[in-house]
């Protein structure tokens, strides 16, 4: 078998095993985001949103939908992918993957693909839940899907790196809870960053999540604080950084092979 030809069968085997591992905890893993979403709609959309009225011509309930979905996509991608690879390293069953005739690319495809699939499924569930609370009209469905997939894959790659880097469960949880969630909150998931006073508004332009949320919101309503091009460029750049890190991990064997 030439190196260029992918070992599809092996990728598919790992992908399915990962999906079935996720199915074992499926109800747990959808319960949290769905309940959180419902709470956000009650609190922000209902209680507070009735006072806020409109943000940039969009009802507040509808305005927060892209941000909520982004929050789920980011946190779920990172945590699914990091647990997905951390688990075999922790239990040492990774030996089998390392001894198999698999390239680094194939291993990444399988684990990152499974993690991204799960977070996209959850994002779609959130989207469906949201329609119970607020009328939704999505302007660019194709772009919305594209943004979802791109974000899921990019942050699953990031999670994959975290999972290899982490040496215990605390380190595994620290990035989603201490980095991703705060940045998403600050990044305009629940408000337009135009509403922020200076200097916070300018400072927030350093927050990468701003670009993700803004681009994603554009795909829904055709408006966004920063340009779509910039959103895509940012996500692409972050993906390139993650890919470089993954390449380095496999090249040096970092924490995978002594």
Total of chain residues touching other proteins, rule CB under 8 A: 27
Contact status: 24 vs other proteins (CB under 8 A): yes
Selected range binding other proteins among 75-83, 88-96, 146-154, 206-214, rule: CB under 8 A: 88-96
Contact status: 100 vs other proteins (CB under 8 A): yes
Selected range binding other proteins among 8-16, 78-86, 119-127, 217-225, rule: CB under 8 A: 8-16
Contact status: 102 vs other proteins (CB under 8 A): yes
CB of 157 to other proteins, least distance (A): 21
Question: Which residue, 58 or 81, is less far from other proteins as judged by CB?
Answer: 81
Q: At what angle do helices 60-91 and 208-221 cross, to 10 degrees?
A: 130
Neighbouring-strand partners of residue 59: 54
Q: How many CB atoms lie within 10 A of CB 41?
A: 21
CB of 257 to other proteins, least distance (A): 5
Contact status: 198 vs other proteins (CB under 8 A): no
Among 9, 28, 135, 197, the residue binding other proteins under the rule CB under 8 A is 9
CB of 90 to other proteins, least distance (A): 10
Contact assessment for residue 200 and residue 60, using Cβ atoms and an 8 Å cutoff: no
Question: Which residue, 7 or 223, is less far from other proteins as judged by CB?
Answer: 7
Contact status: 4 vs other proteins (CB under 8 A): no
Q: From residue 23, how far is each of 18, 20, 85, 102, 118 by CA, in Å?
A: 9, 5, 16, 25, 9
CB of 98 to other proteins, least distance (A): 5
Among 17, 141, 174, 203, the residue binding other proteins under the rule CB under 8 A is 17
Among 35, 50, 54, 93, the residue binding other proteins under the rule CB under 8 A is 93
Contact status: 1 vs other proteins (CB under 8 A): yes
Contact status: 83 vs other proteins (CB under 8 A): no
Footprint of other proteins (CB under 8 A): 1, 3, 7, 9-10, 12-14, 17, 21, 24, 88, 91-93, 95-103, 253, 257-258
């Amino acid at each position: 078998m030439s190196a260029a030809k992918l070992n599809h069968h092996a990728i598919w085997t790992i992908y399915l095993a990962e999906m079935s591992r996720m199915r074992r905890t499926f109800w747990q893993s959808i319960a949290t985001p769905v309940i959180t979403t419902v709470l956000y709609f009650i609190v922000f959309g209902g209680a507070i949103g009735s006072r806020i009225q409109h943000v940039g011509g969009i009802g507040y309930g509808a305005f927060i939908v892209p941000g909520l979905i982004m929050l789920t996509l980011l946190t779920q991608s990172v945590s699914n992918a990091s647990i997905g690879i951390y688990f075999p390293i922790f239990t040492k069953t990774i030996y089998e993957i390392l001894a198999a005739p698999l390239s680094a690319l194939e291993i990444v495809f399988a684990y990152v693909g499974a993690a991204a699939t799960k977070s996209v499924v959850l994002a779609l569930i959130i989207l469906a839940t949201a329609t119970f609370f607020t009328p939704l009209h999505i302007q660019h469905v194709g772009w919305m899907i594209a943004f979802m997939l791109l974000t899921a894959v990019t942050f699953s790659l990031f999670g994959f790196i975290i999972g290899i880097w982490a040496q215990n469960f605390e380190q595994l949880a620290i990035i989603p809870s201490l980095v991703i969630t705060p940045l998403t909150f600050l990044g305009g998931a629940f408000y337009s960053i135009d509403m922020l006073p200076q200097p916070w508004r300018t400072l927030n332009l350093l927050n990468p999540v701003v670009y993700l949320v803004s681009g994603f919101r554009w795909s829904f309503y055709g408006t966004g604080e920063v340009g779509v091009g910039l959103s895509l460029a940012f996500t692409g750049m972050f993906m390139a950084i993650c890919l470089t890190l993954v390449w380095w991990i496999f090249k040096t064997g970092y924490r995978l092979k002594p």
